[in-house]
């Protein structure tokens, strides 16, 4: 039982960078990063993890998040090494000092990620270490938007807050993986200027002096660094066996497929529940109508009896 509860306290779908903390830490150590920027903190679990890393190196962590949770707010109050910037990247990055490493996990779309990479590239002569989450399915080739209204009009693909996506299918569909109101997804996958990975690849192509390594698990971790960085070989050693690893790819595909199956079953149960609810409501309406009719008939019968009794007493009086 304890074991079962332990399992249930785990998120059903692993999605946080904390799940890859050994790789993230390995990269930060290889690059001897002392100052780190985290874009997108969500629950703050990864912020905590990064704080323990920079704290051990007497370093600093900048966290950019438009909607920090209470936990992140509290961390900000307690930890000297943490600087919380409440705002939206890329604009909010102007309030952040140039750092040794950047972890991009905020708004997962081409425009935002491209702007973030441009900003980081301008902060130093040589591109600092950049780690990016969500370079594989679903956001690798399909934009997702937390706040499409905050982006320039031309930067936003046609999108939906309700529809979802499934692997190997370009167009968005009813059901599938979706934001349930917390983020919207582009109606189509692929094509130009669409998705996190496309943004990184276009950035790399425009520069030519970079290495981009993809660890294909938990939605994909991308590691971007200068091929001539003093720590490039150390990073190659950390990432060598993980880069494009077919076993990780297979496990990732399997977990995504299983999750899709679970979502589909859940949607089916909800549909059944809805149908059952509609039937019950219909039954309830018919019952109410029948009861109203029965009450009207009872009244009618009572009136008829009353007039029969009145007629009887008149007849008796006359006879
Ligand atoms: C996928 S979650 C981050 C998860 C976290 N890094 C982890 O691994 O546990 C994305 C976060 O980015 C934030 N966000 C959305 N748009 C952003 C933006 N433009 N700049 C910074 N953060 C953003 C969201 O509020 C959300 O908390």
Greater confidence, 290 or 241?
241
Q: Ligand 1 test: best mutation among 42, 104, 139, most atoms within 8 Å of CB?
A: 42
Residues 252 and 275 placed together within one structural domain of the fold? yes
Phi, psi of 102 (to 5 degrees): -130, 135
Is there a domain that residue 98 lies in?
A: yes
Say yes or no: 129 and 195 in one domain: yes
Tell me, what CATH number does 219's domain have?
3.40.50.150
Residues 96 and 198 in one domain: yes
Verify that 30 and 111 share a domain, yes or no: yes
Instruction: Tell me, yes or no, whether 34 and 22 share the same domain.
Output: yes
pLDDT per position as a tens digit, 208-252: 899 999 999 999 999 999 999 999 999 999 999 999 999 999 999
Domain for residue 164, yes or no?
Answer: no
Give residue 313's domain range.
245-319
Asked, for residue 167, whether it belongs to a domain, the answer is: no
Largest CA distance in the chain: 126
CA distances from 245 to 28, 220, 242 (A): 21, 11, 5
Which residue is closest in CA terms to ligand 1's atom 9? 16
Same domain, 205 and 281: no
State what percent of residues in the chain have pLDDT above 90: 82
User: Is 13 contained in some domain?
Assistant: yes
- Whether 6 is in a domain gets the answer yes
Examine residue 78 and state whether it is found in any structural domain, yes or no.
yes
Same domain, yes or no: 193 and 274:
no
Q: Are residues 11 and 120 in the same domain?
A: yes
Rg of the Cα atoms in the chain: 30
Q: In angstroms, what is the span from residue 51 Cα to ligand 1's centroid?
A: 17
For a pocket test of ligand 1, which of 36, 70, 146, 218 has the largest count of ligand atoms closer than 8 A to its C-beta?
146
Domain end call among 178, 213, 243:
243
Task: Give ligand 1 pocket residues (Cβ under 6 A).
Answer: 16-18, 39-43, 45-46, 64-67, 88-89, 105-107, 112, 146
Separation of alpha carbons 90 and 277, rounded Å: 46
- For 4-62, the pLDDT digits (tens) are 444 556 788 999 999 999 999 999 999 999 999 999 999 999 999 999 999 888 999 99
Nearest protein Cα to ligand 1, atom 14: 106
3-state secondary structure of 31: coil
For residue 103, which atom of ligand 1 is closest to its CA?
6
Separation of CA 105 and ligand 1 centre (Å):
5
Q: Looking at the structure, tell me whether residues 52 and 114 fall in a common domain.
A: yes
Whether 165 is in a domain gets the answer: no
The per-residue pLDDT for range 294-316, each reduced to its tens digit, is: 888 999 999 999 998 988 888 88
- Please return the burial class of 64, using the count of CB atoms within 10 Å of its CB with bins 0-12, 13-18 and 19+: buried
Chosen domain end from 243, 266, 289: 243
Side-chain-facing half-sphere of 274: CA atoms under 13 Å:
6
Domain boundary among 196, 221, 243: 243
Pairing type for strands 144-145 and 184-186 reads antiparallel
pLDDT in tens, 154-199: 999 999 999 999 999 999 999 999 999 999 999 999 999 999 999 9
Q: Are 134 and 250 found together in one domain?
A: no
Give the pLDDT of residue 255: 97
Cα–Cα separations (whole angstroms), residue 71 to 12, 50, 67, 292, 301 = 21, 14, 11, 56, 70
Number of domains within the chain: 2
Instruction: With CA atoms as reference, report the closest residue to 79 among 41, 47, 32.
Output: 47
Task: Classify residue 170: in a domain, yes or no.
Answer: no
Nearest atom in ligand 1 to the alpha carbon of residue 89 is: 20
Cα–Cα distance for residue pair 119/284, rounded to 1 Å = 61
With contact defined as beta carbons under 8 Å apart, do 216 and 116 qualify?
no
Token pair recorded at residue 286? 């018919």
Task: Please check whether residues 102 and 134 belong to one and the same domain.
Answer: yes
Alpha carbon distances (Å) from 56 to 37, 73, 231, 268, 303: 16, 21, 20, 49, 91
Cα(14) to ligand 1 centroid in Å equals 16
User: What is the 240 CA–ligand 1 centroid distance (Å)?
Assistant: 28
Both 229 and 283 in a single domain?
A: no
Q: What is the pTM of this model?
A: 0.87
| Whole-number percent of the chain with pLDDT over 70 | 97
Q: Per-residue pLDDT averaged across 85-91, rounded?
A: 98
The DSSP element (H or E) to which 266 belongs, if any, is helix 246-318
């Amino acid at each position: 039982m304890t074991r079962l509860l332990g399992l249930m306290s785990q998120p059903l779908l692993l999605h946080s960078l904390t799940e890859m903390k050994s790789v993230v830490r390995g990269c930060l150590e290889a690059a001897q990063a002392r100052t780190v920027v985290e874009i997108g903190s969500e629950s703050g679990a990864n912020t905590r993890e990064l704080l323990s890393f920079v704290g051990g190196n007497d370093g600093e962590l900048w966290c950019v998040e438009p909607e920090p949770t209470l936990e992140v707010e509290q961390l900000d109050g307690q930890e000297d090494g943490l600087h919380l910037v409440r705002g939206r990247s890329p604009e909010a990055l102007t309030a952040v000092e140039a750092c040794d490493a950047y972890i991009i996990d905020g708004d997962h779309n081409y425009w935002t990620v491209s702007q973030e990479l441009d900003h980081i590239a301008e902060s130093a002569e040589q591109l600092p270490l950049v780690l990016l989450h969500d370079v594989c399915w679903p956001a690798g080739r399909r934009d997702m938007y937390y706040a499409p209204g905050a982006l320039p009009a031309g930067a936003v693909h046609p999108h939906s807050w309700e529809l979802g996506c499934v692997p190997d299918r370009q167009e968005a569909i009813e059901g599938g993986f979706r934001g349930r109101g917390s983020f919207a997804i582009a109606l189509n996958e692929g094509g130009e200027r669409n998705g996190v990975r496309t943004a990184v690849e276009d950035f790399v192509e425009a520069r030519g002096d970079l290495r981009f390594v993809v660890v294909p698990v938990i939605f994909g971790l991308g590691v971007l660094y200068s091929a001539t960085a003093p720590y490039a070989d150390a990073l190659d050693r950390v990432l060598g066996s993980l880069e494009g690893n077919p076993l990780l790819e297979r496990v990732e595909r399997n977990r995504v497929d299983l999750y899709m199956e679970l979502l589909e079953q859940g949607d089916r149960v909800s549909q059944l529940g809805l149908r059952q609810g509609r039937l019950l409501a219909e039954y309830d309406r018919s019952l109410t109508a029948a009861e109203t009719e029965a009450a009207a008939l009872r009244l009618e019968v009572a009136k008829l009896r009353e007039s029969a009794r009145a007629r009887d007493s008149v007849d008796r009086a006359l006879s």
